[in-house]
Amino acid sequence: MNTAFITDWIDEITRLVAAEREHLTALDAAIGDADHGANLDRGFAAVRTALSARPPGTPGDALVLLGGTLIRKVGGASGPLFGTFFRQAGKTLGDSPEVSPAELAAALADGLAAVRALGSAEEGDKTMVDALTPAVRALEQAVQDGAGRRKAFDAAARAAEEGARATVPLRARKGRASYLGERSMGHLDPGALSSALIMRALHISASGSR
């Protein structure tokens, strides 16, 4: 997978986030600040501008640029958390002009570890970690089992979607939603859903990518 593949992935994330903007914001209105969809949409639009202004030379460079832009442009906790995820993944990929699914899986695992460290969140806390953790685990397992790129990324996306849905009955233990106590139960976590969109975008890009 080359730089074009990663930028295609970013384009697909941007499209999905824009399409789900109102849904994400509605979910956030129930347990947060009602700005998750708008903030992410604005952030990924800024990423596209940044990529056009300074086209990245490697997959890692693209992800570092993505992460840094989200940190600067997205308000609340989402910017630092999603930005850290992508920036660390990019740093792990380094300067390689092409990366394998196994290398991307390892990079995303490092990104997830950085998110956990930053937010002190674990599975079951009703956060983006509830979607990203099973996604990375499924991707690593699929790669280990010798699955092709599309099949591996689909497994990751399905795991992320299942993990996001599993946040509905949970009581939030991190972030603004945690202030609601039991009232946070019964709601899908918007950060988990947007994480699932990111993983589904990866599969879509692989299904029709160069």
Q: State the pLDDT at residue 111.
A: 98
- Looking at residue 34, what is its pLDDT? 85
How much is the pLDDT for 209?
Answer: 46
For the chain, which residues score pLDDT lower than 70?
Answer: 209-210
DSSP SS3 for 146 = coil
Q: How far apart are CA 159 and CA 178, in angstroms?
A: 24
The answer to whether 62 touches 51, Cβ cutoff 8 Å, is yes
Q: Of 54, 85, 59, which Cα lies nearest the Cα of 7? A: 59
The answer to whether the beta carbons of residues 156 and 112 sit under 8 Å apart is: no
Which residues fall within 8 angstroms of residue 52, CB to CB, at 6 or more apart?
Answer: none
Q: Which long-range contacts (CB under 8 A, 24 or more apart) does 27-31 make?
A: 27/187, 27/188, 27/189, 27/190, 27/193, 28/190, 30/187, 31/172, 31/176, 31/177, 31/180, 31/183, 31/184, 31/187, 31/189, 31/190
User: What predicted TM-score, i.e. pTM, was given to this entire model?
Assistant: 0.94
What is the model's pLDDT at position 94?
Answer: 96
Structure tokens belonging to residue 60: 């890692």
The whole-number pLDDT of residue 210 equals 39
| CATH architecture label of 3-207 | Alpha Horseshoe (1.25)
Which residue ranges make up each domain of the chain? 3-207
Q: Which residue has the tokens 């106590």?
A: 181
